[in-house]
Chain A
Amino acid sequence: MTNWILLASLLVIAPAKAEKYGAAQSYSIPLLHWSSKHEKGVYGYIIYRASRANGPFLRINKRVVPAVRSVKNADATVAAQPSRYEFKDETADPAQTYYYYVDVISTTGLKQGLTQPVRRDPRPVKN
């Protein structure tokens, strides 16, 4: 668990591929990015979402996002780099503001906060 303290947490919401939403305006689907430096004992990541800053936050990924280094036979060059992740929130309403945060879960099944909640506003897609 102490390894997690060393995790460099970063959560950036970037526009995903343009999707049609409504007749008048298209919005991009929320895409979450984060990376971590150390993943010893990490099983994966859990993502939570809320419509308001004070919650309620609900888990949105049914399966845990697996840690890169938990993949067997990951080669040495992969192991030396920070692990980078992205998660496309297909269940979100792209026209709505959301708040997201990520927890890390260990191979022993214990959750721990990785990031603070981050706000993501709707992003219109330019035609």
Chain B
Amino acid sequence: MRIQLFLVPLLAMFGCRAALAVQQVPAALVFTPEQAMPVEVYRGDTRTLRFEVRNTSSRTISVSKVFPRKGKGGGTVEPGSLAPGAKGLVTIEATFPEALGEGQVNYLVKTDNPDKETELLEVNYFVQSAYEPDLMLLDLGDIHPGQRVRSTLEVETRLAPELRFDKVLSKPDWLNVEVKPSAGGSDQSRMVVATTTGQPPIGLNTTEIVLESNLASDRVLHIPVVARSCSNYGISPFPLTFGGVPEGQDKERTLRVRKFDGGKVQIKHIETGSPALRVKQVECGKACVDLKLDFDSMKARGGLRIALTISFVDDDVSLAVPIDALVVPIGVKSIELGDLDTLTVRGKTEILEPGK
């Protein structure tokens, strides 16, 4: 994914005035966590969290409900009624998300205090992965009819002397999943080998393999899987981006169409989906045609987000390629940040047969 960053001057004054207009009612209930914060957990963990609650107001407060602002879950307060200065205990059953890193979940505490009917209880957390790499992907690439593809990914842990994946909980029908000993012979590593057994549905397939390990935490491992299933024709790059295009300028990109069986590329029709995009066909050798795409920024103010469709004389399946461009207004500075996803570790993918 390529990201274009715009540096636009901001009027900070608006924010300041808005903040002054909000009057905050002080909290009558003060919550003190019994455990170290942020709560450090592994993906998908469920934890019982306890907080001491103290009534700092001059009236008795009864709590009717404790619940998260978003999602499922809940909590209890003992005792349900707190005299001025009295202390109680809030117990929360929290299930943490799969997303790694720092986060916060807010619980709402409903009371009969007319000055502040809802109190806020903040739970800060930090989600870790029990595995390495932390982010992983099995990218099977382009899969053509009759082709078999295999992708291999090494998964490791430092939480146990031995890592095992005892069960494949789910996988796509067109994929065979095996877990093998690591190449290095370490008991803490396992090779996850995914091999296609048939062709995935034509188009971009995003799915996952779910494995159950022997670890006490983060027991269920979700490995994302991507496969672009093609007809006899394949396209690269897929998708195609023009990135940032200064307003008033043109930009060119090339889309290569290849025929998998080595025959002549026979394009019937190209539907650009936008008057801002012109297409010219150029031969690029046997079974290959380059589509020279010229983007005219004056005809797509703001940008472009379309699907270019190519139909073929000798294939019923048309190919649709997502194409995007961002028109950068005159006077706005832009920085091309390039590919930001350098952290995901991809499996090693190889074509087994036929190897064209």
Q: Enumerate chain A interface residues (CB-CB to B < 8 A).
A: 1, 43, 46, 48, 55-59, 63-64, 105-111
Residues of A contacting B: mostly: loop
Q: A43-B102, A110-B134 are in contact. Are A105 and B161 (CB under 8 A)?
A: no
Chain B residues within an 8 Å CB radius of A57 = 158, 188
Q: A43-B102, A55-B186, A55-B188 are in contact. Are A105 and B160 (CB under 8 A)?
A: no
Report Cα–Cα, A86/B231, bound state, in Å.
Answer: 59
- Give B62-112 interface residues, CB cut-off 8 Å to A: 100-102
Chain B residues within an 8 Å CB radius of A64 = 40, 126, 128
Cβ A56 vs Cβ B126 within 8 A = no
Q: A63-B36, A64-B40 are in contact. Are A107 and B101 (CB under 8 A)?
A: yes
Report Cα–Cα, A7/B36, bound state, in Å.
Answer: 27
- Our count of residue pairs bridging A and B at CB distance below 8 angstroms stands at 51
Chain B residues within an 8 Å CB radius of A59 = 158-159
CB distance from B193 to the nearest CB of A (A): 22
Chain B residues within an 8 Å CB radius of A111 = 128-129, 132, 134
Report Cα–Cα, A56/B160, bound state, in Å.
Answer: 9
Cβ B128 vs Cβ A109 within 8 A = yes
- Give B299-329 interface residues, CB cut-off 8 Å to A: none
Report Cα–Cα, A46/B126, bound state, in Å.
Answer: 14
CB-CB nearest in chain A for B162: A56
B135 within 8 A of A: yes
| Interface residue count on the B side (C-beta < 8 Å) | 22
Cβ A56 vs Cβ B188 within 8 A = yes
Q: Enumerate chain B interface residues (CB-CB to A < 8 A).
A: 36, 40, 100-102, 126-129, 132, 134-135, 158-162, 186-188, 342-343
Cβ B161 vs Cβ A107 within 8 A = no
Cβ A56 vs Cβ B134 within 8 A = no
CB-CB nearest in chain B for A59: B158
CB-CB nearest in chain A for B43: A109
Report Cα–Cα, A64/B129, bound state, in Å.
Answer: 13
Report Cα–Cα, A55/B161, bound state, in Å.
Answer: 9
Cβ A109 vs Cβ B127 within 8 A = yes
CB-CB nearest in chain B for A63: B40
Chain A residues within an 8 Å CB radius of B36 = 63
Q: A57-B158, A110-B343 are in contact. Are A105 and B128 (CB under 8 A)?
A: yes
CB-CB nearest in chain B for A70: B102
Chain A residues within an 8 Å CB radius of B101 = 43, 106-110
Report Cα–Cα, A64/B42, bound state, in Å.
Answer: 12
A56-B187, A58-B160, A108-B100 known, 9 other contacts, Cβ within 8 Å:
A43-B102, A43-B126, A46-B158, A58-B161, A107-B101, A109-B100, A109-B126, A110-B135, A111-B134
